[in-house]
Amino acid sequence: MALEKRKSVLLVDKQPKEIVYLTRQLEMAGFAISFSRTGAGAIKKIEECAPDVVLLEVSLSDMDGVDVAKAIRNNPTRSRIPVIAISAFPHMKSRCLDNGCDAFVQKPIKALDLIAQIRQLIRKPTGTL
């Protein structure tokens, strides 16, 4: 029986503490993690590693996370990658969902809820009619 490849998550956050916390939680849940601390770096990593899900902080140091989500949606080869926006500000939810994000998680993040959200998006069929 062949081993199934671990699902991968690209974590995009400017805060090292958030990256460490989420990496630990997601690795314990069985995900392979890559990360970027900038939006530009995230766009490059998406091309390199084609993650199964992008976990995207809205407030980045170099660009707006919503612009990163738009860049993902505008890339024909990567447009179907699920994007989960993260923000401490609840008013950002509608903006994120209206601009290409598949889900929104408000900080402080509850790891079990986030993991459930990721698994739900990974299981969701893409592009089937």
CATH code, domain carrying 20 = 3.40.50.2300
- Domains identified in the chain, total number: 1
Residue 108 lies in a domain: yes
Per-residue model confidence as pLDDT tens digits over 13-33: 999 999 999 999 999 999 999
* Domain range enclosing 47: 8-123
Residue 128 lies in a domain: no
Per-residue model confidence as pLDDT tens digits over 69-104: 999 999 999 999 999 999 999 999 999 999 999 999
CA–CA separation, 62 vs 125, rounded Å? 33
Residue 129 lies in a domain: no
Residue 3 lies in a domain: no
Indicate if the pLDDT at residue 3 is higher than 90. Answer: no
The torsion of the CA quartet 12, 60, 127, 77, rounded to 10 degrees, works out to -80
Residue 123 token pair: 């299981």
CA-nearest of 4, 14, 19 to 41 is: 14
Indicate if the pLDDT at residue 51 is higher than 50. Answer: yes
State which amino acid sits at residue 27.
E
Q: What's residue 57's pLDDT?
A: 97
Does an H or E element contain 65, and which?
helix 65-73
Indicate if the pLDDT at residue 2 is higher than 70. Answer: no
